[in-house]
């Protein structure tokens, strides 16, 4: 019988990172994955969609190349080739994870791992003993009532990133990050997109001002956006999807359901062991411990924000906890979030609406006043910062505009180190870069803007 | 206690008070207490603030609703002032007097212009620094040293600012962030402290500082101690290289749980040494010398108005880590006035640290009725000899004052040697 210090169930960005870190700390580690290493993020989420969005971005830039003095002929695109490229990026990275497992001497089992009891896992016919079990089984798309993706014209995220055809008219239900990214991708390929959101704003987790700016930008690109609006009924046949929205029947070539995720609980069998749940996700303490002895959980299966980097961070905590090191719990207000639409949205910390009962300062700096944005003609956007008026603590940062997903880590670092406005103001940002807009936003909050 | 006074009425004369509400502030020679109302009703003051009181004196009355309130208060022996009567003994002060560094008779500080400029830039109060220049003059290096001491506390920029705004001394806070860094969360729940600014007693020429409260106690007790006992002091040099290394390692090891200070090392070393030399842990009375069984070590803590000596009880039975946690609690509690009277009672030996001011030797005054007090000085780069080669090594002078009525020089030196030996082999403090 195989015996390990740690058995990790799930090979996504939580699971494989936990395996690597635990191995670095001298523990013997096994990892079970039923599909491909890298999990949803790498195979069916972050990575392939970013590949598609990169294709779309290039297409958009090439179409606008004339403004920068480059004449191109008529521009064509090949959707199937874009999808192939995204698949090969996913495969390449998945193989990279395989290599990492080998390099770190992690024993990988392919198959569904079922926890029989604390300390005992079964994979097919094999029984594996492990003092510690880490459940990192992730989450999968929620269905909308009895409406399920059928792979034909009703799509979930997987179908939406491997489409068999380019829909002329597309309905996207749910305007969270995933829905918005698909809206952006398909709109760039000239699909007529309708984006439906039950909440009063698109990107409901984002700052209202930023969501408003995003909505205006998307509308300008021709995306139809319906907020405070729900899908009443949906019927699909071989030819068309009929959706009932606001009492009206409308026809689409396809529909994408992106209405959130639910924890993957049943595969690992942890749901049968009496694990404690919170809102349908596994409840864990500061060091990712479940209520079951020797069983930990990390990543999406423990609830939101369902983001790969949160899972990876929790992976470090759990591995270090098991190895007996001192750890620091995840502070959810310090997890940045990114949406890779056009324009991009990135944020961290509190929103302005969270600050009602405390004195705060807000800084705003529009990208049209940033030199680098002007030369790249990406002047649409805003950097918004929020500070505690008394202590100068950076409470939140909310960015919209192309390239901002590569900027947000600067504010993540600042918030993580509890920087005050003083440290940010004292920092020298390089010129000419988009990052100067971050500096200016901070200056603006304290009445010191230079370029407005 | 022997006397006290109402320093503030929180409920005005004739106003209504509810049971449990703050009624008045009692300032005694040892401690300031906020006294709650025992009952609800109308408050009448019998005395004004600032009037000296003896135990049992009546400070006022609370009349029940409907009760006839006399126009003139009669002098009934009542129990309203009782909270003051049973203040325990055992709070005392050591010789840690306000430092006015290198003060010339005129009161002028000797300091170099560069030191004053740098101190200004760094926001350091240079009047509390010990000068190392000619004639005790404060020079730039002293300011740099002081600033490095402040900086050596790891804290986030936000925590530093909040500490400044809330008046919290970061050196008393245990950091829970990465690498033991003090973060915002560590400051939650810590109340405003009166940062131990010795400069608080700085006076302008001609001003008379009234002799009351803690100042009066210090004056009386210090003078009394010197008058009544046969005190003398001696110094001994301890090699601190291993202690410095061990502390660095322990800061890492106990990250987020405890921040051991050198004083904690000395608490542990002294407690172990007192076990071996019990005469130093004794009380003198004309009838005889009582060897005290428990080892309770008082630590002088500077507070705004003077100093307090909270006590680490049964220090010999506590681990170094427990001591570090307890002294952190006592130090911050003494500064923000949240300690119980018990925390000040029952000391059997006292430590007084002046090392942070750059002091290398002093003659602490015994905290009566104890028999010894140990002064902790600065850790500095000293020299030892390896064959005929000089080797740089961390050293610290320890200044012991003892009562010759109780102990003679030889056993006192043996006690001090044990402390020094334990500090130079600090791993023995972990067992």
Beta pairing partners, B393: B382
Task: Check which CATH number belongs to the domain holding B43 and give it.
Answer: 2.40.50.100
Lowest pLDDT segment from A88-97, A388-397, B207-216:
B207-216
pLDDT at A223: 98
Domain that holds residue B31: 4-84
3-state secondary structure of B40: coil
DSSP character for A144? B
Return the residue of B nearest to A422 by Cα: B157
Q: Does a structural domain hold residue B89?
A: no
Distance from CA of A422 to the nearest CA of B (A): 9
Distance from CA of A419 to the nearest CA of B (A): 5
Q: Are residues A405 and A439 in the same domain?
A: yes
3-state secondary structure of A257: strand
Span A388-443, pLDDT tens digits = 999 999 999 999 999 999 999 999 999 999 999 999 999 999 999 999 999 999 99
Show which residues on chain B lie within 8 Å of chain A, measured between beta carbons.
156-159, 161-162, 165, 176-178, 183-184, 255-256
SS (H, E, C) B118-158: HHHHHCCCHHHCCCCCHHHCECHHHHHHHHHHHHCCCECHH
SS (H, E, C) B188-252: CCCCCCCCCCHHHHCCCCCCCCCCCHHHHHHHHHHHHHHHHCCEEEEEEEEECHHHHHHHHHHHH
Cβ contacts of B157 on chain A, cutoff 8 Å? 417-420, 422-423
Higher-confidence position of A116 and B187: A116
Average pLDDT over residues B255-267: 91
Q: Does a structural domain hold residue B104?
A: no
Task: Check which CATH number belongs to the domain holding A438 and give it.
Answer: 3.30.390.30
pLDDT at B84: 35
For residues A333 and A350, the answer to whether their CB atoms sit within 8 Å is: yes
Query: Cis before residue B154, ω within 30 degrees of 0?
Result: no
Q: In Å, what is the CA distance from B286 to each residue of B221, B228, B229, B405, B412? A: 19, 11, 11, 10, 21
**A206 — pLDDT class (breaks 50, 70, 90):** very high
Span A168-199, pLDDT tens digits = 999 999 999 999 999 999 999 999 999 999 99
- Whether residues B156 and A419 touch (CB distance < 8 A) is answered with yes
The whole-angstrom separation of Cα B262 and Cα B355 is 10
Q: Are residues B295 and B417 in the same domain?
A: yes
The whole-angstrom separation of Cα B29 and Cα B251 is 37
Count the Cβ atoms, other than its own, within 10 Å of residue B294: 12
Q: Does a structural domain hold residue B73?
A: yes
Q: Are residues B60 and B156 in the same domain?
A: no
Span A111-130, pLDDT tens digits = 999 999 999 999 999 999 99
Q: Are residues A133 and A33 in the same domain?
A: yes
pLDDT at B126: 67
Q: Are residues B234 and B322 in the same domain?
A: yes
Cβ contacts of B179 on chain A, cutoff 8 Å? none
pLDDT at B128: 67
Higher-confidence position of A236 and B64: A236
Q: Are residues B150 and B253 in the same domain?
A: no
DSSP character for A114? E
3-state secondary structure of B349: strand
pLDDT at B19: 79
Of A229, A259, A289, which one is at a domain's C-terminal end? A259
What is the tally of structural domains in chain B?
3
**B29 — pLDDT class (breaks 50, 70, 90):** low
Q: Are residues B257 and B171 in the same domain?
A: no
For residues B44 and B63, the answer to whether their CB atoms sit within 8 Å is: yes
The whole-angstrom separation of Cα B128 and Cα B139 is 13
Cβ-based neighbours of A230, under 8 Å, separated by 6 or more: A196, A198, A245
Q: In Å, what is the CA distance from A36 to each residue of A362, B119, B170? A: 45, 62, 50
The DSSP secondary structure of B155-170, one letter per residue, reads B-HHHHHHHHHHT--G
Of B31, B64, B84, which one is at a domain's C-terminal end? B84
Q: Are residues B132 and B236 in the same domain?
A: no
Q: Does a structural domain hold residue A199?
A: yes
- Whether residues A418 and B165 touch (CB distance < 8 A) is answered with no
Lowest pLDDT segment from A28-37, A218-227, B31-40, B164-173:
B31-40
Nearest to A423 among B157, B165, B178 (CB): B157
| H or E segment and range at residue A281 | strand A281-282
Q: Are residues A268 and A134 in the same domain?
A: yes
Q: Are residues A350 and A318 in the same domain?
A: no
Q: Does a structural domain hold residue A352?
A: yes
Q: In Å, what is the CA distance from A285 to each residue of A56, A130, A321, A329? A: 41, 21, 12, 9
Phi, psi of B34 (to 5 degrees): -95, 125
Q: Does a structural domain hold residue B105?
A: no
Closest C-alpha among B231, B178, B198 to residue B362? B231
Task: Check which CATH number belongs to the domain holding B282 and give it.
Answer: 3.30.559.10
User: How would you class B30 by CB atoms within 10 Å of its CB: exposed for 0-12, middle for 13-18, buried for 19 or more?
Assistant: buried
For residues B100 and B94, the answer to whether their CB atoms sit within 8 Å is: no
Q: Does a structural domain hold residue B263?
A: yes
- Whether residues A418 and B157 touch (CB distance < 8 A) is answered with yes
Q: Does a structural domain hold residue A452?
A: no
If you average pLDDT over every residue of chain B, what do you get?
79
For residues B202 and B127, the answer to whether their CB atoms sit within 8 Å is: yes
Q: Are residues A268 and A248 in the same domain?
A: no
Q: Are residues A57 and A137 in the same domain?
A: yes
Nearest to A420 among B158, B176, B256 (CB): B158
Of A277, A298, A332, which one is at a domain's C-terminal end? A332
pLDDT at A11: 97
Closest C-alpha among B90, B92, B95 to residue B401? B95
Q: Are residues B227 and B130 in the same domain?
A: no
Residue count (chain A): 452
Q: Are residues B236 and B356 in the same domain?
A: yes
Count the Cβ atoms, other than its own, within 10 Å of residue B204: 6
Q: Does a structural domain hold residue B311?
A: yes
Of B198, B232, B261, which one is at a domain's C-terminal end? B198
Q: Does a structural domain hold residue A147?
A: no
The most confident of the ranges A60-69, A358-367, B289-298 is A358-367
Cβ contacts of B168 on chain A, cutoff 8 Å? none
Give the distance from CA B144 to its chain's centroid: 25
Higher-confidence position of A275 and B195: A275
Of chain B, the percentage scoring pLDDT greater than 70 comes to: 80
Give pairs for A421-427: CB < 8 Å, separation 24+: A421/A387, A421/A392, A421/A394, A421/A445, A421/A446, A422/A392, A422/B157, A422/B161, A423/B157, A424/A394
Terminal C-alpha separation, chain B: 40
pLDDT at B210: 74
Count the Cβ atoms, other than its own, within 10 Å of residue A83: 18
Q: Are residues A363 and A437 in the same domain?
A: yes
**B169 — pLDDT class (breaks 50, 70, 90):** confident
Q: Are residues A6 and A124 in the same domain?
A: yes
Residue count (chain B): 431
Q: Does a structural domain hold residue A146?
A: no
DSSP character for B99? P
Average pLDDT over residues A235-246: 93
The whole-angstrom separation of Cα B251 and Cα B33 is 35
Query: Cis before residue B127, ω within 30 degrees of 0?
Result: no
Distance from CA of A142 to the nearest CA of B (A): 36
- Whether residues A328 and B178 touch (CB distance < 8 A) is answered with yes
The answer to whether A356 faces chain B, any CB pair under 8 Å, is no
Q: Is 50 exceeded by the pLDDT of residue B199?
A: no
Q: Is 50 exceeded by the pLDDT of residue B415?
A: yes
Q: Does a structural domain hold residue B44?
A: yes
Q: Are residues A199 and A130 in the same domain?
A: no
Lowest pLDDT segment from A322-326, B145-149, B382-386:
B145-149
Domain that holds residue A317: 2-141+262-332
Of A201, A228, A259, which one is at a domain's C-terminal end? A259
Lowest pLDDT segment from A385-394, B110-119, B385-394:
B110-119
pLDDT at B86: 36
Span B65-105, pLDDT tens digits = 777 766 555 443 433 333 333 333 222 222 222 222 333 33
Q: Does a structural domain hold residue A148?
A: no
Q: Are residues A181 and A278 in the same domain?
A: no
Q: Are residues B271 and B343 in the same domain?
A: yes
Q: Is 80 exceeded by the pLDDT of residue A233?
A: yes
3-state secondary structure of A26: coil
Cβ-based neighbours of A286, under 8 Å, separated by 6 or more: A327, A329
Count the Cβ atoms, other than its own, within 10 Å of residue B148: 9
Average pLDDT over residues B360-375: 94
Q: Are residues A61 and A107 in the same domain?
A: yes
Q: Are residues B13 and B42 in the same domain?
A: yes
DSSP character for B350? E
**B204 — pLDDT class (breaks 50, 70, 90):** low
pLDDT at B32: 64
What is the tally of structural domains in chain A?
3
Distance from CA of B156 to the nearest CA of A (A): 6
Nearest to A422 among B157, B159, B184 (CB): B157
Q: Are residues B244 and B370 in the same domain?
A: yes
Nearest to B255 among A326, A393, A420 (CB): A326
Task: Check which CATH number belongs to the domain holding A128 and give it.
Answer: 3.50.50.60
Q: Write out the two tokens for B323.
A: 């001591």
Q: Are residues A242 and A287 in the same domain?
A: no
The answer to whether A391 faces chain B, any CB pair under 8 Å, is yes
Residues within 8 A of B (CB atoms), A 312-331 only? 326, 328
Q: Does a structural domain hold residue B294?
A: yes
pLDDT at B80: 38
pLDDT at A143: 87
């Amino acid at each position: 019988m195989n015996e390990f210090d740690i058995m990790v169930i799930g090979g996504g960005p939580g699971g494989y990172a936990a395996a690597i870190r635990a191995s670095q700390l001298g523990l013997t580690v096994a990892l079970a994955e039923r599909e491909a290493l890298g999990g949803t993020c790498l195979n069916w989420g972050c990575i392939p969609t970013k590949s598609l969005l990169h294709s779309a971005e290039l297409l958009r830039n090439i179409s606008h190349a004339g403004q920068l003095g480059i004449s191109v002929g008529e521009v064509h695109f090949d959707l199937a080739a874009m999808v192939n490229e995204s698949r090969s990026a996913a495969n390449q990275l998945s193989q990279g994870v395989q290599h990492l497992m080998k390099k770190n001497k992690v024993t990988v089992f392919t198959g569904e791992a079922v926890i029989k009891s604390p300390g005992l896992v079964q994979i097919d016919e094999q029984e594996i003993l492990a003092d510690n079990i880490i459940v990192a089984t992730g989450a999968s798309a929620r269905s909308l009532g009895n409406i399920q993706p059928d792979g034909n014209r009703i799509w979930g995220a997987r179908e939406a990133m491997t489409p068999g055809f380019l829909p002329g008219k597309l309905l996207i239900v749910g305007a969270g990050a995933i829905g918005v990214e698909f809206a952006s991708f398909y709109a760039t390929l000239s699909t007529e997109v309708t984006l439906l959101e039950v909440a009063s704003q698109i990107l409901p987790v984002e700052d209202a001002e930023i969501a408003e700016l995003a909505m205006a930008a998307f509308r300008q690109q021709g995306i139809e956006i319906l907020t405070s609006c729900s899908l009443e009924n949906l019927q699909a046949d071989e030819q068309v999807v009929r959706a009932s929205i606001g009492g009206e029947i409308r026809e689409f070539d396809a529909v994408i359901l992106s209405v959130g995720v639910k924890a993957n609980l049943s595969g690992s069998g942890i749901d049968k062991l009496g694990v404690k749940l919170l809102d349908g996700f596994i409840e864990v303490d500061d060091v990712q411990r479940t209520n079951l002895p020797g069983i930990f959980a990390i990543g999406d299966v423990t609830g939101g924000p369902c983001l790969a980097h949160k899972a990876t961070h929790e992976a470090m905590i759990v591995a270090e906890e098991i190895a007996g090191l001192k750890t620091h719990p995840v502070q959810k207000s310090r997890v940045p979030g990114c949406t890779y639409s056009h324009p991009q949205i990135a944020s961290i910390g509190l929103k302005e609406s969270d600050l009602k009962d405390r004195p705060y300062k807000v800084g705003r700096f529009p990208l049209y006043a940033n030199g680098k944005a002007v030369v790249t003609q990406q002047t649409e956007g805003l950097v918004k910062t929020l500070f505690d008026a008394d202590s100068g603590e950076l409470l939140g940062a909310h960015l919209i505009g192309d390239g901002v997903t590569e900027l947000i880590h600067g504010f993540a670092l600042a918030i993580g180190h509890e920087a005050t406005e003083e440290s940010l103001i004292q920092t020298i940002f390089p010129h000419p870069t988009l990052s100067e807009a971050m500096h200016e936003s901070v200056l603006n909050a304290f009445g010191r803007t230079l370029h407005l | 206690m022997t006397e006290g006074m109402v320093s503030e009425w929180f409920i005005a004369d004739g106003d209504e008070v509810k049971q449990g509400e703050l009624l008045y502030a009692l300032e005694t020679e040892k401690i300031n207490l906020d006294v709650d109302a025992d009952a609800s009703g109308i408050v009448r003051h019998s005395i004004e603030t600032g009037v000296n009181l003896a135990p049992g004196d009546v400070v006022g009355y609370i009349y029940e609703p409907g009760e006839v309130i006399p126009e003139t208060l009669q002098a009934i022996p009542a129990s309203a002032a009782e909270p003051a009567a049973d203040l325990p003994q055992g709070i005392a002060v050591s010789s840690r007097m306000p430092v006015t560094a290198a003060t010339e008779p005129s009161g002028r500080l000797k300091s170099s212009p560069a030191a004053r400029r740098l101190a200004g830039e760094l926001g350091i109060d240079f009047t509390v620094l010990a000068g190392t220049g000619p004639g005790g003059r404060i020079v730039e290096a002293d300011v740099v040293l002081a600033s490095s001491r402040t900086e050596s506390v790891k804290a986030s920029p936000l925590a530093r600012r909040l500490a400044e705004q809330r008046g919290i001394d970061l050196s008393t806070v245990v950091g829970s962030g990465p690498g033991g860094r003090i973060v915002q969360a560590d400051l939650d729940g810590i109340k405003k402290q009166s940062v131990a600014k010795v400069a608080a007693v700085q006076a302008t020429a001609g001003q008379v500082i009234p002799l009351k409260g803690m100042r009066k106690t210090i004056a009386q007790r210090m003078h009394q101690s010197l008058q009544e006992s046969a005190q003398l002091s001696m110094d001994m040099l301890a090699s601190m290289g291993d202690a410095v290394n061990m502390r660095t390692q322990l800061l890492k090891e106990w990250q987020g749980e405890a921040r051991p200070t050198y004083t904690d090392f000395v608490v542990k070393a002294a407690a172990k040494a007192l076990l071996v030399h019990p005469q130093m842990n004794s009380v003198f009375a004309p009838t005889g010398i009582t060897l005290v069984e428990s080892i309770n070590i008082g630590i002088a803590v500077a507070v705004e108005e003077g100093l307090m000596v909270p006590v680490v009880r049964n220090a010999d039975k506590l681990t170094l880590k427990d001591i570090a946690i307890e002294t952190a609690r006592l130090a911050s509690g003494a500064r923000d006035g949240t300690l119980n009277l018990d925390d000040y009672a029952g000391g059997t030996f006292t430590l007084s640290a002046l090392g942070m001011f750059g002091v290398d030797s002093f003659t602490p005054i015994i905290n009566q009725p104890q028999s010894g007090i140990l002064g902790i000085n600065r850790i500095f780069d000293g020299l030892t000899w390896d064959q005929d080669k000089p080797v740089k090594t961390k050293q610290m002078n320890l200044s012991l004052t003892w009562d010759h009525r109780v102990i003679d020089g030889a056993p006192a030196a043996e006690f001090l040697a044990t402390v020094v030996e334990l500090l130079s082999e600090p791993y023995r403090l972990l067992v």
